[in-house]
Amino acid sequence: MTTVITYGTFDLFHVGHVRLLKRLSQLGDQLIVGISSDEFNLLKGKSSFFSYEERAEIVESCKYVTSVFPEHDWQQKREDIVKYGADIFAMGDDWKGKFDDLSDLCEVVYLTRTEDVSTTKIKKSLSKIDVEELDRIESSLHDVISIVKSLSLK
């Protein structure tokens, strides 16, 4: 049985994540995913929209993933490879060369990422929505809720 291990934050789970996990799962019989804990994200200067627990639940529900576990620091990768008996360590190619030192434990593979899709791009797009637009959206939602409530009372 070939075990593949990978890591990521997996915030705002999107088609790029799905496609990467699918390709990673095709490298072996099981895919184990380390997901950055909220505390580790803070150390990296990142902030996730969803909590670790929510991100873990989302990733674990993906049919390509066998199991997930928390990643607490950069150094644990060597221990995890041994602990989970990983045959292949795989990451997106934006990390190319960064984990070559793990090749003494297993095969190290870097896969190309899905073009034009990233959590960073999604967050930038969402941040362009100004306060007035958010107020308009919220007002529209309140209108819809009022209409639904009035219809359900009839």
Q: Residue 49's pLDDT is what?
A: 82
98 has catalytic annotation:
no
CA-wise closest residue to 74 among 34, 21, 106: 34
> In this structure, which amino acid lies at residue 88?
I
Q: How far apart are CA 6 and CA 1, in angstroms?
A: 17
Q: Residue 11's pLDDT is what?
A: 85
128 has catalytic annotation:
no
In eight-state DSSP terms, residue 95 is G
Active-site position among 22, 44, 63, 83 = 44
Q: How far apart are CA 35 and CA 9, in angstroms?
A: 5
Q: What is the dihedral of CA 38, 59, 95, 75, to 10 degrees?
A: 50
Residue 105: strand pairing partners: none
CA-wise closest residue to 68 among 103, 125, 17: 17
Active-site position among 22, 46, 128, 154 = 46
Q: Residue 137's pLDDT is what?
A: 76
- The per-residue pLDDT string of the chain (154 residues; one tens digit each, 9 = 90 and over) reads 999 999 999 987 888 889 899 999 999 999 999 999 999 999 998 888 889 999 999 999 999 999 999 999 999 999 999 999 999 999 988 899 999 999 999 999 999 876 665 555 655 555 566 667 767 777 777 777 777 677 666 5
Q: Residue 34's pLDDT is what?
A: 98
Q: What pTM does this model have?
A: 0.75
